[in-house]
């Protein structure tokens, strides 16, 4: 999208985009193209012998029923993570925007947990959810419920959805809050004078004005759920039990980084990229139409 | 406050408190685990309240665990993390502000091409394309220095995308007015766009600082010199004892220490939030 | 490294590094490892002691994450020609390393080329057999090795009236029943299920897990662990999940809390958990050899090891490898080995270190700590019990984990699960064979 009013063409815009383009080409496009090439070859881990096999890596993937299962799980997982983390964050942001007393403390306490190193997250979730020593299973036991996500696939899925959403709440909260605060208060006051209650004001004024932020977060959260959750899955369930939490990006990471099957992993990342590009195009073409800039 | 509704205010506080408890619970557990001895953290039921070993553990984490065998100290790890986090956050914000400005406010050939070129970088996090990226960094001689640690992580579109969204909401009248005043693009950028994006810059800075601060896999790969270790790598090191169960209390204490600098950033940035708020309300 | 150097532009840095290497006195030997925690400190001490013992070489140990991260980091570095001299690789990576003939420098060769005396008969056969070629050449130097043993709660045994530590699976069931009758939630649990219940089950009963001498004789190997004995065993375990004789507690060492918190009276996992159990358990515990089926073998064969070894990578300056050879020699000396063994619970790699530990009275003051070494050396390793060498084995273990989890939860029958694991495993073997021609 371009501003209706804009500056005259000159050499300036090229200079402005140059730094980002250079970094992108060097550290993203070039390595990504290597991955693309990698997806068409079969190679040993050390790169000592390689053979060009065209689309064989892809064929093998599509023959694998487990790979298709992973697709389905990924969509369920991503949808729920994006929905949960965004809606909870929005509620909290609206409340934080409302309250004046103590808002700084709430804000800090909500953002602070985001700073806990993911490297230590595995240990934290161990304390909270481990079937033997964790707090939640220990508490559930008194209600007669035996929590064991090491064996129960649905519980494992619920757990990774929860942990992945948890991590993203602070992020979403921060941007929702920034978005809310840039809405001119005069607009809301005017509506209040017209007799609109808080709920109506939210849906008719605040929510539409927040749509650029919401759109930004929607894209970011979908991308987050698709791509950046393998670390959490690795730490919490390792894709198990019996593949129940093996989503596409975890498989890419696990086959490539851990299993050193470079060709197969590269083929998967190409497919994954294609999906997210398609999803993003859909979001820009259709969802963005509803965004009020 | 637009109108006074005590019940609504009460409800707001209640929801905030529930939200805070839910979101901050793991952080509380970190603190609790850091204040018990090793054995207590393996016994049922696990403690929900802090124990009496906090300072003892702090001493171990500072003087033994973190100082390690080579006696180099925790200071340099915090320093490395700080430099890396700052380079990533500032670098990312700087290049993104410029490119978003160009893409939103200029019509020029290949504009959309550039936009999509930047935009696809959202898709593959560095961990997934880590081997080829490592090769590029190695060939550029960027192993074991701050450039290699930070610049490859700057190549991401999140910030560009966000500033695009922010710029698009800025009323066109402002640009028209600026042009009538005879302001060039750079003046407009400096005097209008920057101040108006302040809240978002602050939010982004917080997010990017924490993102950079918490990197694990990438620093692990591109640094081989102990001098370049970051604090988060140290947490990972404490957790990986081969067949040895981790010493939870020390690990959690280190985690707690590692949270402090990002928290200082959050608290410091709070001010900018409030400022941004009052300025737009003027 | 000075702060300035960390900031210096890449190109300038290259020239700077070039000039500093001229002035530094000792040749640096890079050693990448996966030992964090207290073991990481021990690694540093070994390197320090070596560096103090001579002045020509300086071994620099660097922590590079967990086993997979360390291995992948080294491979990435190799591809970019920045590899370390020595890298610690876990046992499942053996086939991958071995297949990379252009990248690895067999340890035995390193010793020979640099005139460092090396006598294979000094080493414990059960420890080094896993890492030898079929011709007997030692490829990598065992560093931290262990084997699965049966851990048991002595207090619980007393309470339940169990007089004899189980040696067969029938006795395991009997002891579990007594434990549960005495109020314990479960009889036993175990970790690293592929390693303990498939790989070691095979070696212990002298049954091959795959063709071609468990992969030692060639990459064109196929899995055969869907044999009647393994199937019956897995079926027993699956049946036992129903009454709590066996409770599954996750992969790796995840189920340790079940043993520590006295939910389960017995636990089968690596002997290297000794230190952790000693620190955490508030009861008397012991370790004993793994149980076996009396109708499959009269006497158990020997178990196989796990853990990691040190591989030497090619492509560094020729002179450096003399230092590598000397370091390997130093590292396998009886004193270093006995110290490492006694501190960590890993098994010693040489006879001399074992004898030294005996002489020092370590096993008398720490009863049971020689179980692992005795179990490993119970008999001379056979083609089915000296180890396994399958490609893509990290993923094969994942497959076995997945299928076994499906069996424990009742989603699949033991029959179907094991057959599926073999089928999926064979596909991974073919893939490896193709990539490593």
CA distance C50 to chain B (A): 15
CB atoms within 10 A of CB B146: 18
Contact C261 B227 (CB under 8 A): no
End-to-end CA distance of chain B: 15
By the CB < 8 Å criterion, does B221 face chain C?
yes
By the CB < 8 Å criterion, does A199 face chain B?
no
Q: Which residue of B has its CA nearest to A131?
A: B44
CA distance A268 to chain C (A): 16
Q: Residue C268 — φ and ψ, nearest 5°?
A: -110, 115
pLDDT of C14 strictly over 60: no
CA distance C93 to chain A (A): 9
Q: Three-state DSSP class for C264?
A: strand
Looking at domain A65-290, which CATH architecture does it have?
Orthogonal Bundle (1.10)
Q: Which residue of C has its CA nearest to A66?
A: C424
* Tens of pLDDT, residues B200-213: 888 889 889 988 99
Contact between C182 and C214 (Cβ < 8 Å): no
Contact B239 A123 (CB under 8 A): yes
Using CB atoms, pick whichever of B23, B117, B203 lies closest to residue A21.
B117
% of residues, chain A, pLDDT over 70: 98
Contact B131 C308 (CB under 8 A): no
pLDDT of C1 strictly over 50: no
* Tens of pLDDT, residues A145-190: 888 888 889 999 999 999 999 889 988 998 898 888 878 878 888 8
pLDDT of C314 strictly over 80: yes
Closest CA to C255 of C197, C204, C172: C197
Render C364-379 in DSSP notation, one character per residue.
Answer: HHSTTTTHHHHHHTSS
Cα–Cα dist C259/C265, whole Å: 6
Which pLDDT score is estimated for A184? 80
- Cis amide prior to A241 (ω within 30 degrees): yes
For residue C12, name the pLDDT band (cuts at 50, 70, 90). Answer: very low
Cα–Cα dist B87/C203, whole Å: 54
> Domains along chain C?
24-146+306-365 (3.40.190.10), 148-303+391-435 (3.40.190.10)
Give kind and range of the element (H or E) at residue C307. Answer: strand C306-312
Cβ contacts (< 8 Å) between B179 and chain A: which residues?
Answer: 5
Cα–Cα dist A52/A54, whole Å: 6
* Tens of pLDDT, residues C241-251: 999 999 999 88
> C80, C408, C409, C410: best mutation site toward chain A, by most A Cβ within 10 Å?
C409
Average of per-residue pLDDT values in chain B? 82
Q: Which residue of C has its CA nearest to A41?
A: C435
Q: Which residue has the higher pLDDT, C336 or A276?
A: C336
**Arithmetic mean of pLDDT, A238-253:** 87
Using CB atoms, pick whichever of B221, B227, B244 lies closest to residue C76.
B221
By the CB < 8 Å criterion, does C251 face chain A?
yes
Cα–Cα dist B243/C346, whole Å: 9
Contact A178 B216 (CB under 8 A): no
Which pLDDT score is estimated for C166? 95
Task: Name the maximum alpha-carbon separation found in chain C.
Answer: 74
Which pLDDT score is estimated for B171? 85
**Arithmetic mean of pLDDT, A30-45:** 88
CA distance C258 to chain A (A): 6
pLDDT of B190 strictly over 60: yes
Contact A256 B128 (CB under 8 A): yes
pLDDT of B280 strictly over 50: no
Polymer length in residues for chain B: 282
CB atoms within 10 A of CB A84: 18
For chain B, domain boundaries: 65-281
pLDDT of C274 strictly over 80: yes
Contact B134 C76 (CB under 8 A): yes
The topology under which CATH files domain B65-281 is MetI-like fold (1.10.3720)
**Arithmetic mean of pLDDT, C90-119:** 92
The reported pTM is: 0.88
Contact C248 A150 (CB under 8 A): yes
Cβ contacts (< 8 Å) between A29 and chain B: which residues?
Answer: 117, 120
**Arithmetic mean of pLDDT, A47-57:** 87
**Arithmetic mean of pLDDT, B169-180:** 85
Quick one: tokens of C404? 């076994």
**Beta partners for residue C210, in sequence order:** C223
- Hey, what's the torsion of the CAs at C302, C308, C312, C315, to 10 degrees? 130
Q: Which residue of A has its CA nearest to B138?
A: A27
For chain A, domain boundaries: 65-290
Give kind and range of the element (H or E) at residue C288. Answer: strand C285-288
Complex ipTM value? 0.84
Which pLDDT score is estimated for C109? 93
The full 3-state SS of C120-147, as one line of letters, equals HHHECHHHHHHHECCCCCECCEEEEEEC
Residues 52-91 of B with CB under 8 A from C: 68-70, 80, 83
Using CB atoms, pick whichever of A16, A32, A102 lies closest to residue B99.
A16
pLDDT of C13 strictly over 60: no
Which pLDDT score is estimated for C3? 58
- Number of helices and strands in chain A (H, E): 15, 2
- For residue B198, what are the contacts with CB-CB under 8 A and spacing of at least 6? B272, B275, B276, B279
Give kind and range of the element (H or E) at residue C312. Answer: strand C306-312
Cα–Cα dist B217/C66, whole Å: 11
* Tens of pLDDT, residues A218-230: 988 988 898 888 8
Cβ contacts (< 8 Å) between A133 and chain C: which residues?
Answer: 257, 261
Closest CA to A113 of B263, B61, B213: B263
Which pLDDT score is estimated for B203? 84
**Arithmetic mean of pLDDT, C291-309:** 93
Contact B237 C40 (CB under 8 A): yes
**Beta partners for residue C151, in sequence order:** C267, C287
């Amino acid at each position: 999208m371009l501003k209706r009013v804009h500056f005259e063409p000159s050499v300036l815009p090229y200079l402005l985009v140059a730094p980002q383009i250079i970094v992108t080409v060097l550290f993203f496009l070039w390595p990504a193209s290597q991955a693309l090439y990698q997806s068409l070859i079969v190679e040993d881990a050390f790169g000592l012998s390689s053979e060009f096999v065209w689309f064989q890596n892809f064929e093998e993937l599509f023959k694998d029923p487990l790979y298709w299962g992973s697709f389905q799980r990924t969509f369920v997982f991503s949808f729920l993570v994006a929905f949960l983390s965004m809606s909870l964050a929005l509620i909290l942001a609206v409340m934080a925007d409302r309250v004046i007393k103590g808002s700084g403390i709430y804000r800090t306490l909500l953002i602070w947990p985001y700073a806990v190193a993911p490297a230590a997250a595995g240990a934290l979730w161990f304390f909270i959810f481990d079937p033997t020593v964790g707090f939640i299973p220990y508490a559930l036991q008194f209600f007669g419920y035996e929590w064991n996500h090491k064996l129960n696939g649905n519980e494992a899925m619920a757990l990774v959805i929860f942990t992945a959403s948890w991590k993203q709440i602070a992020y979403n909260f921060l941007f929702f809050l920034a978005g809310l605060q840039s809405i001119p208060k005069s607009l809301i006051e005017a509506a209040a004078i017209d007799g609109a209650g808080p709920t109506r004001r939210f849906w008719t004024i605040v929510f539409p004005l927040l749509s650029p932020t919401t759109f930004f977060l929607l894209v970011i959260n979908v991308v987050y759920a698709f791509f950046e959750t393998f670390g959490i899955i690795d730490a919490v369930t390792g894709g198990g039990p019996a593949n129940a939490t093996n989503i596409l990006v975890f498989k890419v990471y696990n086959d490539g980084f851990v299993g050193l099957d470079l060709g197969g992993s590269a083929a998967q990342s190409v497919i994954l990229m294609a999906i997210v590009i398609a999803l993003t195009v859909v979001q820009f073409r259709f969802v963005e139409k509803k965004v009020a800039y | 406050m637009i109108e006074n509704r005590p019940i609504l205010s009460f409800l707001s506080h209640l929801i905030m408190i529930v939200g805070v408890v839910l979101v901050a619970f793991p952080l509380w557990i970190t603190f609790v685990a850091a204040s018990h001895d090793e054995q207590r953290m393996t016994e049922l039921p696990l403690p929900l309240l802090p124990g009496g070993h906090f300072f003892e553990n702090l001493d171990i984490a500072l003087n033994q665990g973190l100082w390690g065998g080579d006696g180099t100290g925790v200071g340099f790890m915090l320093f490395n993390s700080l430099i890396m986090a700052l380079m990533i956050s500032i670098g990312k914000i700087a290049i993104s502000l410029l490119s978003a400005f160009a893409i939103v406010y200029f019509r020029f050939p290949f504009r959309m091409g550039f936009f999509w070129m930047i935009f696809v970088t959202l898709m593959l996090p560095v961990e997934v394309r880590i081997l080829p990226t490592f090769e590029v960094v190695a060939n550029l001689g960027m192993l074991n220095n701050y450039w290699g640690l930070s610049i490859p992580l700057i190549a991401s579109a999140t910030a560009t995308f966000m500033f695009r969204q922010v710029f698009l909401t800025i009323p066109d009248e402002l640009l028209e007015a600026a042009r009538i005043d005879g302001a060039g693009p750079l003046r407009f950028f400096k005097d209008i766009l920057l101040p108006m994006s302040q809240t978002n810059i602050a939010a982004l800075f917080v997010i990017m600082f924490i993102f950079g601060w918490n990197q694990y896999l990438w620093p692990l790969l591109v640094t081989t010199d102990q001098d370049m270790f970051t604090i988060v790598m140290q947490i990972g090191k404490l957790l990986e004892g081969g067949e040895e169960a981790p010493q939870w209390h020390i690990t959690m204490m280190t985690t707690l220490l590692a949270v402090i600098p990002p928290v200082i950033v959050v608290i410091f940035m709070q001010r900018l939030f409030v400022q941004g708020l009052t300025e737009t309300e003027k | 490294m000075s702060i300035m150097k960390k900031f210096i532009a890449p190109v300038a840095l290259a020239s700077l590094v070039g000039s500093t290497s001229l002035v530094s006195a000792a040749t640096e030997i890079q050693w990448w490892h996966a030992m964090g925690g207290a073991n990481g400190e021990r690694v540093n001490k070994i390197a320090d002691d070596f560096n103090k013992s001579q002045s020509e070489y300086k071994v620099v140990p660097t922590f590079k994450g967990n086993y997979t991260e360390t291995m992948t980091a080294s491979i990435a570095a190799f591809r970019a020609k920045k590899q370390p001299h020595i890298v610690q690789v876990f046992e499942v990576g053996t086939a991958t390393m071995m297949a990379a003939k252009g990248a690895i420098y067999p340890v035995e060769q390193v010793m020979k080329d640099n005139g460092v005396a090396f006598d294979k008969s000094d080493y414990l056969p059960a420890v080094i057999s896993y890492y030898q070629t079929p011709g007997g050449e030692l490829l990598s130097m065992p560093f931290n090795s262990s084997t699965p043993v049966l851990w048991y709660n002595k207090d619980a045994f007393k309470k339940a009236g169990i007089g004899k530590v189980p040696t067969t699976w029938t006795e395991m069931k009997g002891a579990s029943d007594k434990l549960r009758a005495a109020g314990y939630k479960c009889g036993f649990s175990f970790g690293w299920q592929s390693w303990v219940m498939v790989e070691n089950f095979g070696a212990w009963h002298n049954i091959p897990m795959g063709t071609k001498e468990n992969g030692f004789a060639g990459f064109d190997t196929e899995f055969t662990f869907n044999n009647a004995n393994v199937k019956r065993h897995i079926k027993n375990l699956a049946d036992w999940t129903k009454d709590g004789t066996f409770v599954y507690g996750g992969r790796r060492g995840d189920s340790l809390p079940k043993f520590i918190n006295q939910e389960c009276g017995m636990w089968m996992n690596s002997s290297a958990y000794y230190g952790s159990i000693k620190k955490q358990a508030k009861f008397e515990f012991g370790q004993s050899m793994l149980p076996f089926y009396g109708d499959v073998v009269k006497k158990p064969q020997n178990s196989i090891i796990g853990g990691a070894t040190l591989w030497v990578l090619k492509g560094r300056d020729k002179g450096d490898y003399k230092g590598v050879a000397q370091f390997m020699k130093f590292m396998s000396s009886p004193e270093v080995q006995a110290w490492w063994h006694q501190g960590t619970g890993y098994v010693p790699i040489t006879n001399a270190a074992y004898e030294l530990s005996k002489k020092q009275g370590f096993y008398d003051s720490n009863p049971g700590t020689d179980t692992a070494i005795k179990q490993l050396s119970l008999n001379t390793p056979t083609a089915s019990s000296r180890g396994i060498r399958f490609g893509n084995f990290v993923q094969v273990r994942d497959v076995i984990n997945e299928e076994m989890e499906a069996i424990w939860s009742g989603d699949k029958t033991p029959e179907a699960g094991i057959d599926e694991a073999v089928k999926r495993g064979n596909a991974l073997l073919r893939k490896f064979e193709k990539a490593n021609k």
